[in-house]
Structures are given as C-alpha cells and as structure tokens.
C-alpha cells in the first residue's frame, strides 16, 4: 500500500466542561475516504491513537497494526513468512514478512526490549530482518562452515534455510525462532 500524505490544519478550540479557563482542545478532520477505509462510521467510531513523540498513528480499535498488515497481505495473496521469536518458552515478537513487497510488520509481546527481535526498533525494514535472521545463524566466517552446512544438509549459506533446520538456536542464549507459515 502506498503511503498517502495530506497537509491539514489542527483546529484549536476552548475546552469545555471542567477544563480551566486556559484549557484547549485540538482536533484534526480526517478525509472521508480514509475514514471509510478504516471502516469508521457513526455506529463504529472506536479508534486507537498512538504517539511515539514524533508521529501520531490512528487505527481502528480491535485490530493491531500487525493484524492489519497480515490481513491485507493475505487478501492480496502475497508470499508471506511468519516468524515467532521466543526467549525460552515466552513469545517475545511476532514477525510477518511479506516477500512480495519486501515489507514487514512486527508485534512485540513483551516490554523487555532486550528480549525482542529488533530491540528498540519498532519499524524494522527488510534489511533489518535479513540481519536478524543471520544473527541467529553460525557466522559466515566460521572455520569449518562447509562441514557445518553439510551436517545440516545444505550446500550453501542461506540464513532462512539454516533457521529452518536449527530454529535459530544459539549456545549463548535461550532464544529461538518458530516459522509459523512459509
């Protein structure tokens, strides 16, 4: 989906009710076509607002950004890879990788950024995913790499195929990757 951008003005009004004399309220009018695409109507007005200190995101309540991304990609019959990243038995990050568009969406299931797949990066790109997968594999420069690959039944170094064989398990931690769909 192409990012559509429009310039708008924020409406600033005196706040009513129990607000103090200097109280203000701030509103933005959404283009009707966007509201329709979000399925916002008089009977369905619940939305979620998110603010990261720089950007405000609006989405329909009840549907996460991850779920919306997944549903849209499935509706377009894109080639998807879905990963679940665990620390021990705890699911930490869901990753939906759309191989058709080379885009991805994540949903962290923990607040501990040290246990998430991409740390503080909430908007990883395709290159970030490739680097993450490779970080869960034996290093490319390791002595005896060809022997290791042969033991896995692989002819060349391909991080996704190594993950399929090893679940991305490393001796240094209890983290691993489950490929949910391929």
Q: What is the tens place of the pLDDT at every residue in 116-145?
A: 999 999 999 999 999 999 999 999 999 999
Domain-embedded: residue 5: no
Do 47 and 95 sit in the same domain of this protein? no
**Measured over all CA atoms, what is the biggest interatomic distance in the chain, rounded to whole angstroms?**
75
Report the predicted TM-score, pTM, of the whole model to 2 decimal places: 0.66
Domain-embedded: residue 68: no
Element (H, E) at 86: strand 80-87
The token duo for 116 is 């998430």
Q: Which domain holds residue 47?
A: 11-60
Residue 168 has pLDDT above 60, yes or no: yes
Alpha-carbon distance of 178 to 94, in angstroms, equals 10
Alpha-carbon distance of 57 to 122, in angstroms, equals 13
Domain-embedded: residue 67: no
């Amino acid at each position: 989906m192409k990012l559509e951008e429009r310039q708008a003005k924020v409406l600033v009004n005196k706040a009513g009710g129990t607000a103090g004399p200097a109280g203000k309220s701030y509103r933005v009018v959404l283009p009707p076509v966007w509201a329709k695409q979000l399925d916002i109507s008089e009977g369905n007005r619940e939305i979620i607002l998110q603010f990261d200190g720089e950007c405000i995101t609006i989405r329909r309540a009840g549907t996460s950004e991850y779920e919306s991304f997944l549903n849209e990609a499935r509706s377009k019959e894109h080639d998807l890879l879905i990963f679940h990243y665990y620390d021990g038995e705890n699911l930490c990050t869901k990753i939906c990788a759309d191989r058709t568009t080379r885009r991805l969406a994540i949903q962290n299931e923990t607040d501990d950024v040290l246990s998430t797949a991409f740390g503080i990066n909430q908007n990883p790109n395709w290159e970030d995913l490739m680097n993450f997968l490779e970080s869960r594999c034996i290093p490319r420069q390791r002595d005896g790499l060809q022997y290791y690959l042969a033991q896995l039944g692989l002819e060349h170094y391909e991080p996704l195929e190594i993950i399929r064989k090893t679940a991305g398990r490393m001796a240094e931690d209890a983290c691993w990757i489950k490929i949910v769909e391929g």
